[in-house]
Structure 1
Amino acid sequence: MQAGTPLVAAIYSRVSDDTRGDQRSVEDQDEENLEACDSNGWKVPAGGRYSDNDISASRFSRKERPDWDRLLGDLAASRYHVLVIWETARGDRKLARWIEFLDLCRDLGILIHVTSHQHTYDVRKRRDYKTLAEEGLDSADDSELTSERLLRDKRKAAKRGLPHGRHLYGYKRIYEIGEDNRRRLVGVVPDEEVRTAVGRGGTVTEYTHAGVCAAVAGTSSFQGLLVCRRSGWPDGRRGRAFER
């Protein structure tokens, strides 16, 4: 590479749970990462921005991260000199995969800029490699700790007869406000509005096939009903809802 030629950078952004469905956190990361590239004189080419929205990087996630996998392939093809991420946990929370990523960058001489650290790491240097390896260990441990807490809370809720899992479609939870102004669960009952809509066109069992579900979910009987969070009606979710 000739002296004075700007380094080519890729930026990667990720958020585990986009509860609003607006990718705001990903956009915020992108903005700060691009500012870091500008301030360092790095060029982000067309196609150099990668993001996985609403996807966890922990070992407990069941979702694939297509852009992270695509980025790793492009890094292996030596398309970039620098990778810019907002924090190390945006990368990979699986320790073995994080170490593989660091090894790839070390072998190819790819720099890693962590925007929240305001620092660019060169993992060919022992101290930089150790720092990011320890960050990966901390990220993996945070995932384990979060999982332990969630399981403990679910067990406690189950023992007390409180909700402790996904809210099943077709049912609603009834709460009352106590003297301390806090909500308390009274019971879980069928949601008659949903059941009436499901039953208008025929019996529940007629809707279990994914193709039929797709047609039924688009009919007027479902208009105005609250459906699956953010994503509408995935085929498998439709089937499970109607089977109930």
Structure 2
Amino acid sequence: MPAKQSKSQKVALVTGAARGIGLATARLFIEEGWLVAALDRDADALQKAAADLGQAASAFVCDVSDPGAVDRTVADVLSRFGRIDALVNNAGVADFGPIEQTDFARWRRVMETNLDGVFLMSQAVTPALKDTKGALVNIASISGLRASTLRVAYGTSKAAVIQLTKQQAAELGEYGIRANCVCPGPVRTKLAMAVHTQDIIDAYHDAIPLNRYGTEREIAEVIVFLCSEKASYVTGQVIASDGGFESTGVGLPALRK
């Protein structure tokens, strides 16, 4: 049974919370004294994650690309907690392939979660964020800041999320709502390590000034900071948490010490 909520206790709604960056973010919010509404469309993985997070988290199964499901779930979250102080739009899908092999159905599968889902969740939660003068944090990607092969749908969706964030900051600031965007670079997730060959790992290390992948926890630290009062005058910003990857372009391993 979820822990009893104090009237002043803040509530974060995190999408894509069953694994990876979303789960790490939910865990850090709880460490900081927040309650968490953890959303994901993978019911089994979500229940397992919620059990790991403990009483401060409540699980809500939701496909963020479904407008009806989003509205029902946000209503359920408000019924459970009575407030929402931060929305972290983390849910996303990664589908990489050549432009010529990306048919419209494949394009839409990426857009409906990565872009439509951010729009739908933000719109549904905005009235609650007005009440709390809360924060929006959208998770884009380094692929939204710089182009690379095989990412025509994914990279475009994340670039659109960056622009959506700026639109939200411009329009919602008068209500005290802050909107910011985090763009993770290469992150050492279980999935990435399962599919990245040693050649890929070496190439990333050569291109990243910090010479390593990031961790899920490091991305979560940036997200939770942006939702906190410590970032009370920060809005409309796009922060690449990427070890310097976006700033350097092509790595030159022969010039490294």
Taking structure 2 as the reference length, what is the TM-score of the superposition? 0.34
Structure with the higher helix share, 1 or 2: 2
Structure number with larger C-alpha Rg: 1
Question: Higher RCO, 1 or 2 (CA under 8 Å, sep at least 6)?
Answer: 2
Taking structure 1 as the reference length, what is the TM-score of the superposition? 0.35
